[in-house]
Amino acid sequence: MAGKTVSRQELYDEIWTISASKAAIKYEISYSRFLKICRENNIPIPPSGYWTKLQCGKPVEKTPLPPSKIETVELIPEKGQPKETEEIIFQQTIVVPEEEKIGLEIRYEGQAQRYNRETLYQEVWAEPMTVVCQRYGMSDNGLRKICRKLDVPFPPAGYWAKIRAGKPVSKPSLPKVKTPPNEDRPKTGERRQLHVEETALSFLKTEDRNKIIDAASKLRVAGPGAHLHKDIASHKAKCEGWLDRQKERGQRYGRYVEDPPILAADISKESYSRVFHILDALLKGMLPFGASLTYQFHFQVNGEDVPFSMSESKDQIPHAVTQDEKMALLKYEEAKRKNSWASKPNIPKWEHPWNGRLTLIINGKYKFMDCKSYSLEDRIGEIMIAFYEASYAIRLQRLEAEEKRRKEEEERKRAEEIQARYNTEIDYTEGLINAAEDYDTACKLRAYIAAVKAAGQKSEEWIEWANAKADWLDPTVHAEDPYFGVRQHTKSKENKMPKRKGYW
């Protein structure tokens, strides 16, 4: 099949305009092979996170096209392209400035996500256990067990009584985190050459990056029968138990359908041993750096929850009709000839047996597959590095989401403050108008009293009483009436006029 020849500049512009993955689809080339073509022709591609930052309006840098003697690139569609024997999976990496690099988050293997050793240590020495345990929704004895498990010292019995009595007490320091036992360290063997970019793990500090790459280069998958990590062995037992129960049910359909554990229905039982030994090697390889397995069966890598999936592909082959199916088909045709009712046997045209080829996908992005050139076991080091790359991508997404929520919360509070100020301004304006109406009423009342006094129609006692009422109405005088008290001038007329009292 003939390919298409394009210039380096044209291909470079397409990659930085529509992305490398879409360009690969356009030219009908697999993504991994397309990236290899770009490397061979010295064409830079956007790093991971480039398009996300671009969509969020964040500043991005576009790597210029370096000079080269190569002017054109031939792109042969996948179907017409010969297979190569040493195809590897290329991983996009995120180039991070030195000042933004992070360190490894060492975490005790048995430590749950919800507990922080330093925080827990400060809490239990600041308040009694009976108070602190309420924040975690457990008993004080349960919290003591957590402290012992995390190697966090806590006050002995009588500590708080001595504090109240003013007696001297001692407070031990928080010990360092214990490293996992030697049997959980990565298994070592013949050093493997890792196929990773120079920018891989660039978000880590140099010392931590070297530790990860060194461990990944030594990592290998143990053979059948090797001892599995307790968490991996526990999940393997769950999958095998589910599979056995499915066989016992056979073709019977009940009202209750048991959901399969993660991985149980995606691989054949023959591949269970291989799959769980691969996961066992990954977990043990990352354990010294604080990794763990979550209850959702995700890897907790450098403080981030990294989901993954493993599946086994199937072949499609013609169905071989069995003797029982032939007999059922003959009975059906015989019934039709006799004009009697019969249902046609459901004989499938194709069979889809498991073929043993595994696929591992990390965070929906990093994909590793068995192929003719290599198996997942051969690329176990690259898989481990991909988990750390995925953890950083997840970290960026989480920080962006947190920043978005923070801005939304600030905007909500700002809107509430503006609304509150607006409503306050309305109240002040209404109060001003109400007070002005009182002042206008008081002025009218004094004019009326003066006219009545000049006409000699009222007594001096009445004139004195009326002037007192005018002073009570006047907000500039703010006089107190013996019956009505002090008038609330800023209130509306309906709310500040005295009400008649009835008799009981």
φ, ψ for residue 29 (rounded to 5)?
-125, 140
Token pair of 110, please?
A: 């048995």
pLDDT digits (tens, 9 = 90+) for 237-264: 999 999 888 877 764 555 557 789 999 8
Predicted local confidence at residue 87, as pLDDT = 37
Residue 153's pLDDT band, with cuts at 50, 70 and 90, is: very high
Q: Average pLDDT of 95-103? A: 73
- For the cut 80, the answer to whether the pLDDT of residue 86 exceeds it is no
For the chain, what percent of residues have pLDDT higher than 70? 88
Mean pLDDT (whole number) for 348-368: 89
pLDDT, residue 373, reads: 80
| Rounded Cα distance, 52 and 60, in Å | 10
Sign of CA pseudo-dihedral 422, 423, 425, 426: positive
What Å distances lie between residue 229 and 187, 236, 280, CA to CA? 13, 11, 6
Average pLDDT score over residue span 186-204: 67
- Residues 344 and 332 sit within 8 Å (Cβ to Cβ): yes
Confidence of residue 188 (pLDDT cuts 50, 70, 90): very low
What's the confidence (pLDDT) of residue 305? 93
**Dist. CA 343–CA 350, nearest whole Å:** 20
Averaged pLDDT, 88-99: 56
Question: How open is the CA angle 492-493-499, to the nearest 5 degrees?
Answer: 120
Distances (CA, A) of 498 to 422, 468, 473, 493: 30, 16, 12, 10
372, with CB counted inside 10 A (0-12, 13-18, 19+), is: exposed
Which range among 80-89, 256-265, 440-449 shows the weakest confidence by mean pLDDT?
A: 80-89
* pLDDT confidence of residue 191: 45
Q: What is the mean pLDDT of residues 459-480?
A: 92
The 10s digit of each residue's pLDDT in 306-331 is 999 999 998 888 888 888 888 888 88
Query: Tokens 């994909």 sit at which residue?
Result: 367
Q: Is pLDDT of 206 > 70?
A: yes
Per-residue confidence (pLDDT) for residue 323, from 0 to 100: 86
Q: Among all chains, which residue has been given the structure tokens 């959901």?
A: 259
53 has a pLDDT exceeding 90: no
Instruction: Say if CB 285 and CB 216 are below 8 A apart.
Output: yes
Instruction: Please report the pLDDT score of residue 193 as a whole number.
Output: 64
Residue-wise pLDDT tens digits, 277-305: 999 999 999 999 989 998 889 999 998 99
Tens-digit pLDDT profile for residues 111-143: 444 567 888 899 999 999 999 888 877 888 888
Task: Say what the pLDDT of residue 438 is.
Answer: 92
In the predicted structure, residue 92 carries a pLDDT above the cut 90: no
Q: State phi, psi for 115 to the nearest 5 degrees.
A: -110, 135
pLDDT single digits (tens) 3-21: 688 899 999 999 888 888 7
For residue 173, pLDDT over 70 is answered with: yes
Burial class (CB in 10 A: 0-12, 13-18, 19+), 249: exposed
Q: Are strands 317-318 and 72-75 parallel, antiparallel or unpaired?
A: unpaired
CB atoms within 10 A of CB 385: 26
Q: How confident is the model at residue 32 (pLDDT cuts 50, 70, 90)?
A: confident
Question: Each residue of 406-438: pLDDT tens digit?
Answer: 999 999 999 999 999 999 999 999 999 999 999
Q: Give the pLDDT score at 33.
A: 80
Average pLDDT, whole number, for the chain? 83
